[in-house]
Structures are given as structure tokens and as C-alpha cells.
Amino acid sequence: MSSSSAAQLHVSRRRDAILPAVLLVVFVVLPLLLSSPNINRLLFVTFLWITTSVAWNILGGFTGQVSFGFAVFYGVGAYTAALIINAGVSPYLAFPAAGASAAIVSLMVSLPTFRLRGPYFAIATIGVSEAVRVVMTNVEFTGGASGYRIVEHVPFRQLEHYYTALALAAIAIAVSAYIAQTKFGYGLKAIRQDEDAASAIGVNPYTYKLRAHAVAGALTGMAGGVFARYAAFIHPQGVFGFQTSVSILLMPVIGGIGTVWGPVIGGGVFGIVEEEIVASFPQIHLLLYGCLLIAIVLFEPGGILGGLRKLAGRIRGKRRT
């Protein structure tokens, strides 16, 4: 590659970093200006959804391994953080521990399920996820089905939670963006497009899928931990629920699978709209998600980001003529 095009790449990379930096500043300042607990809470939840959406995309988008089992990591992270915080340890040690335990669980899930390909892997993750939920419903030392309470002997400060979630989302996006342009990311993308061809040029599909799963699991587990501390009460039907897995899968699909920013958009939209939808259509909100999923897969597999790119291309094309 010539040095001029390398320099161009550098400039475009710097330009790519401007919008995210501006957004980060906006979200740092916003709660100080608005000081609305309700908006803070909504954004807090949205940041966590963005984190899980970006995490899922590392395995489902980059690597092409569709999992219906991410609630396992969310739940394991939530319970790990809960137990550690209740033991009197700092939450900021509990969150990394939540990520680590979710990553370890991801390896345990990976070892058998990655023997399977495509739809068979997806089905296996449903089985694992449901099995874990049932086990957690019956484990006594975490309260079983009736849930588990987190007690901190410090006053509740909403902004602290807000900034923790914002930082976690920023970390998740940075990890995802970094992976996308490294050797690791190219290996994952090669596996998504043709696993056998990837193997034929030296990519070990098994270990690379394992690693992607672990990174995705760790980020999701940390999100679960941050959520648990905020909620102060968790129960298996919630954090380990199948609906949690579906939500985590739905967001990157809405936003644009396999891209860096699609899952962020998807998580943002989902986080802001979700509560409204649940409140307005409590009986049929899952049906609405199902319809949305079908519509996206049929009409715009690239999600919101894919649609926007097409639109931008069309406008640019018209201007030229």
C-alpha cells in the first residue's frame, strides 16, 4: 500500500473518532444539565442494552455464530456481582469478577456447543440457557425462584450508576471497534463467511470462536453485574429469562449486524423504545418484536445502519447526475 493511502486511512480513522467523542461528552454532561432521575434511569438501562448488543455482535455479527443464550452470561454476571457486593467487596472489583466468571462459563458452554454448526449451534444455546435458568431457579443459597437481594451499606447515588454504565458501554464499543480492524477480527470475519475456507488459510475456527464467545460473554457479564447493583434485586426469570436472550439478539439485528455501529444504534433504539412498548402493549409486545424481526430479515437485513447507508448512497448518486 502506498504511503499516501496509508496516511488517508489515518486521517479517516481520526475523523471516525470525532462523532463518538462528541457523543461521549454529551452523555457525560447531559445528566448534570437535565438532572432528571427518570431520564438518567432510562439512559442507564440503554447503556447496558448497548453493551450487551455490542457484545453479542462480536460473536453473532463478526463471527456469524447466532446464540440464543446470552442471558446465561448476563445472569451469571449479575449473580456473581451480587454475591461479591454482599460479601462487602467494592463493586468495582465485583464487575470485573462478573465479567471473568461469565467468560469462564462461556468456555464451558463453548466446548460442547461449538462442535455444532449454524442452526444446530443456535438450538444448543437455547437448551443451555434454559437449563441454567432452571438450575438457578432451584439453587437455594441464591434464593432460588424468589430471587436475591443486594444490600450495600452506602447511600444510593444514581449518577454513579449512570457513569458506570456509560463507561462500560464506551469500553464495549472500543473493544468492538478495535477487534474489527485487527488480525483477530479478520479471522472472525473469515469464519463467518466460510469456515472451511478460513481453515484452509490457517485460521483455527474452533479456538477463534471460543475466544470471540469469551470476549462477548465477559462484556455481557459485566453489564449483568452493573444492572444487579442498580436493581438491588435479581431473580432467575429476569436475568436468566429467555426474553433477555431474545432482546440481546434483537438489538444488533435491528441496528445492523456485523458492523461496529449497527449494534450501538440498535441498542440505543431498543433501550429507549422498549419500556414504552412494554407499558403500552403488555400482552403483545413480544409479538411486535417478532414481527419487527421478520420485517428486518425480509426487507433490510442490514438493519437501520444498512438502510441508512443505502439511502445515503442513493442521495449521493442523485446529486452526481
Partner 1 sequence: MVSAEPKPILQVEKLTKHFGGLAAVKDVSFEVRQGQIFGFIGPNGAGKTTLFSLIAGALKPTSGSVHSHGKNIVGMKPFARVKQGIARTHQIVRPFRDMTVLENVQVAVHFGRNSVSSARQARERAMAVLSAVGIDKLANTRAAILSVGQQKRLEIARALATDPHLLLCDEICGGLTHAETDAMLQLLRSIRDKGTTVMYVEHDVKAITAVCDRIMVLNYGQKLAEGTPDHIQNDPAVIEAYLGTSAARSK
Binding of partner 1 at residue 12 (CB under 8 A)?
no
Interface pick for partner 1 out of 14, 15, 153, 183 (rule CB under 8 A): 183
Binding window for partner 1 (CB under 8 A); candidates: 23-31, 158-166, 179-187, 267-275: 179-187
278-315 residues labelled b (16+ CB within 10 A) or e (exposed) = eeeeeeebeeebeeeeeebeeebebbbbbebeeeeeee
Binding of partner 1 at residue 187 (CB under 8 A)?
yes
**By CB under 8 A, what part of segment 53-112 binds partner 1?**
none
Binding of partner 1 at residue 1 (CB under 8 A)?
yes
Binding of partner 1 at residue 140 (CB under 8 A)?
no
**By CB under 8 A, what part of segment 205-264 binds partner 1?**
205
Binding of partner 1 at residue 186 (CB under 8 A)?
yes
Q: Which residue has the cell 461449538?
A: 114
Q: Which is nearer to partner 1, 180 or 226 (CB)?
A: 180
Binding of partner 1 at residue 182 (CB under 8 A)?
yes
Binding of partner 1 at residue 200 (CB under 8 A)?
yes
Q: How far apart are the first and last CA of the chain?
A: 32
Binding window for partner 1 (CB under 8 A); candidates: 16-24, 83-91, 186-194, 248-256: 186-194
Q: Which residue has the cell 457513569?
A: 163
Binding of partner 1 at residue 193 (CB under 8 A)?
yes
Helices (H), the chain: 3-16, 18-34, 37-57, 71-86, 91-113, 118-138, 158-180, 183-193, 195-200, 205-231, 236-239, 242-255, 262-280, 285-299, 303-320
Q: Which is nearer to partner 1, 134 or 200 (CB)?
A: 200
Interface pick for partner 1 out of 202, 316, 318, 319 (rule CB under 8 A): 202
**All residues at 6 or more sequence positions from 201 whose CB lies less than 8 Å from its CB, including other chains:** 190
201-225 residues labelled b (16+ CB within 10 A) or e (exposed) = eebebeebbbbbbbbbbbbbbbbbb
Min dist. Cβ of residue 207 to partner 1 (A): 9
- Residues that bind partner 1 in the complex, under the rule CB under 8 A: 1, 6, 181-183, 186-187, 189-190, 193-194, 196-205
